[in-house]
Amino acid sequence: MLKTISNALSKVFGGSNDHQEPSSSTEQPHVTSVNKQVIGEEEHRIARRYLDDNALKVAYRLQDAGFEGYLVGGCIRDLLLKKKPKDFDVATDAHPEEAAELFRRARLIGRRFKLVHVRFGRDLIEVATFRASHDSQNQTEEGEQGKQCDSGMILRDNVYGTIEDDALRRDFTVNALYYCPKDHCVYDFANGYSDLKQGILRMIGNPEERYKEDPVRMLRAARFAAKLDFKIDPQSERPIQSLAPMLKRIAPARLFDEVLKLLQSGHAVKSYQQLQRLGLFEPLFPQVQALLESSAIDDVPLERLIENALRNTDRRLSQRKSVTPAFLFAAILWYPTQLRMQQLMRDNKMPPLPALHEAANQVLGEQVRSTAIPRRFSTPIREIWEMQLRLPRRQGNRATRLMEQPRFRASYDLLLLRETSGENLDGLSQWWTDYQNADEHQREKMVQALGKSDKPRRSNRRKKSRKD
Ligand code: ATP
Ligand code: MG
């Protein structure tokens, strides 16, 4: 029987949603028009040495050619918050073709949203032309450059405008801050500076319309709230629960990229909590959410496994260790796959391995309708799952051979997570931990000790099935 979503949510977070609805009298009007403020260097205190040299080169080159050129978006937001920006973006009034001509290593990309990528070795600077909102254009022109479908979703976003137009079509006020390398001032058109100081994430314009234009903005709200530790403005938050299903219309490849930004940027646990709180996890992982809300959840520690996997990912990233989407997806989708496999064994009398293969096909086949999973990740996911069936079988020289498998490490990590999350595996992960730490002689003894304890258990099982 399905439990209610609010039940599931309070289960996930172990408490009530303490978000307080403000009274309407305290609500601020939507940011729909420009209120230009120039914030000087003595106020914003962005040290020039933290500005990316290549982004500055691009902005200067644009300005030298008679165009405008600003550093904009997340980089300015993050520098104001004393965080290291992930990337530096440049905004300009030059059209993409005009901008591309100014740089030797420039490439025009995108159709839905045309951009210029300027390469400096391994570094990439994204140059975007000022955009305007679609309703600021007349209908015939809009058909060429911009396109919206009946639900309001933007299908093409190449309607150009001024810096003021550009500020208002950005998503959150804190993402609409422009740094001018000429006067070193930050230009704020949407009260983003004040929101940033107060830790508020506020959608520019009418939030409902802006989410309908691009539902991915809802995921961005969850991500920035987690990453920046910001509170989502109540008016910006309110439409999200009911519009969440619109994410099902977004291309799975784009959602895969967004999932990685949410779960592989060092704040996965908080992002997951925000996704759950806002009802955004379901459109990304419908099978997992269905299981979280079903009675089968009493048999498997699904929530704990997900949270532990995400905590692990955050920890590895903070230690500058590598992470792979294959492990993350293998962990998140493990219990839906395991339960499907058990069902196939029970109902279709399939042996474990073919049942696992079939379950993997079904679960991954279903998942790629929400988020793509490129083949370079889906193959290792299957291998990590298959290893879960092989890791208990350690007799003879099997243990040594398993350790030589390329997926051993990730598979052992998943096994460890399963057991620490509450699955009873008879201490199997501890055995593997000890085995890896043991010398040759100790390993032999460990395997010998197994032989005795494992065989009777196997024959018992056989006897039992014969009786059945
Ligand atoms: P980060 O790079 O840390 O993930 P960011 O804010 O820089 O965060 P990007 O995806 O790099 O995010 O986008 C750069 C800027 O482009 C944003 O700050 C925002 O102003 C604008 N932007 C990006 N995506 C959208 C969107 N879907 N709708 C409106 N504006 C957007
Ligand atoms: Mg960015």
Residues of the chain predicted below pLDDT 50: 1-25, 138-142, 455-468
The answer to whether 168 and 205 have CB atoms below 8 angstroms apart is yes
pLDDT of residue 135: 67
Ligand nearest to the CA of 220: 1
Query: Where along the chain do the CATH 3.30.460.10 domains lie?
Result: 33-198
The pLDDT, as a whole number, for residue 29 is 84
- Atom 8 (ligand 1) nearest CA: 74
33-198 architecture in CATH?
Answer: 2-Layer Sandwich (3.30)
Task: Compute the distance from residue 329 Cα to the ligand 2 centre, in Å.
Answer: 25
Ligand number, closest to the Cα atom of 84: 1
Ligand 1 atom closest to the Cα of residue 214 is: 27
Nearest residue to 367 via CA among 257, 261, 242, 283: 283
Residue 27 CA to ligand 2 centre (angstroms): 29
Determine the atom of ligand 1 nearest the C-alpha atom of 75: 7
Question: In the prediction, which pLDDT does 227 show?
Answer: 98
Report which DSSP code applies to 35. B
Q: Which CATH class is domain 284-467?
A: mainly alpha
Give DSSP secondary structure letters for 202-256: -BSS-HHHHHHH-THHHHHHHHHHHHHTPEEPHHHHTTHHHHGGGGGGS-HHHHH
Range list for CATH 1.10.3090.10 in the chain: 284-467
At 156 the pLDDT is 78
Which residue's alpha carbon is at the smallest distance from atom 9 of ligand 1? 74
Local structure of residue 308 (DSSP, 8 states): H
408-420 helix and 428-437 helix, angle to the nearest 10 degrees: 140
Residue where the block lists tokens 């839905």:
112
The whole-number pLDDT of residue 133 equals 83
| Rounded-to-integer distance, Cα 403 and Cα 397, Å | 10
Mutate to test the pocket of ligand 1, among 124, 154, 170 (most ligand atoms within 8 A of CB): 170
CA of 142 to the centre of ligand 1 (A): 23
| pLDDT for position 9 | 35
Catalytic residue among 89, 166, 214, 233: 89
- Coil, helix or strand for 175? helix
- Closest C-alpha residue for ligand 1 atom 14: 73
Active site residue 87: yes
**pLDDT at 242 (0 to 100):** 98
- Exposure string (b/e) for 251-285, b if CB count within 10 Å is 16 or more? eeeebbebbeebbbbbbbbbbbbbbbbbbbbbbbb
Environment class of 95 (CB within 10 Å of its CB; exposed 0-12, middle 13-18, buried 19+): middle
Q: What is the DSSP string of 338-381?
A: HHHHHHHHHHS---HHHHHHHHHHHHHHHHTTTS---HHHHHHH
Do residues 364 and 329 make contact, with C-beta atoms less than 8 angstroms apart?
no
This model's pTM is above 0.75: yes
Q: Residue 47: what pLDDT?
A: 92
Residue nearest to atom 21 of ligand 1 (CA): 170
Q: Decide: 195 and 173 in contact? Cβ < 8 Å.
A: yes
pLDDT at 15: 35
Set 52, 78, 93, 171: catalytic member? 171
CA of 456 to the centre of ligand 2 (A): 59
Question: Atom 10 of ligand 1 has which residue's CA nearest to it?
Answer: 74
Pocket residues for ligand 1 (CB within 6 Å)?
A: 73-74, 86-87, 89, 170-171, 175-176, 214, 216-217, 261
**How confident is the model at residue 140, as a pLDDT?**
44
The alpha carbon of 74 and the centre of ligand 1 are apart by a number of angstroms equal to: 6
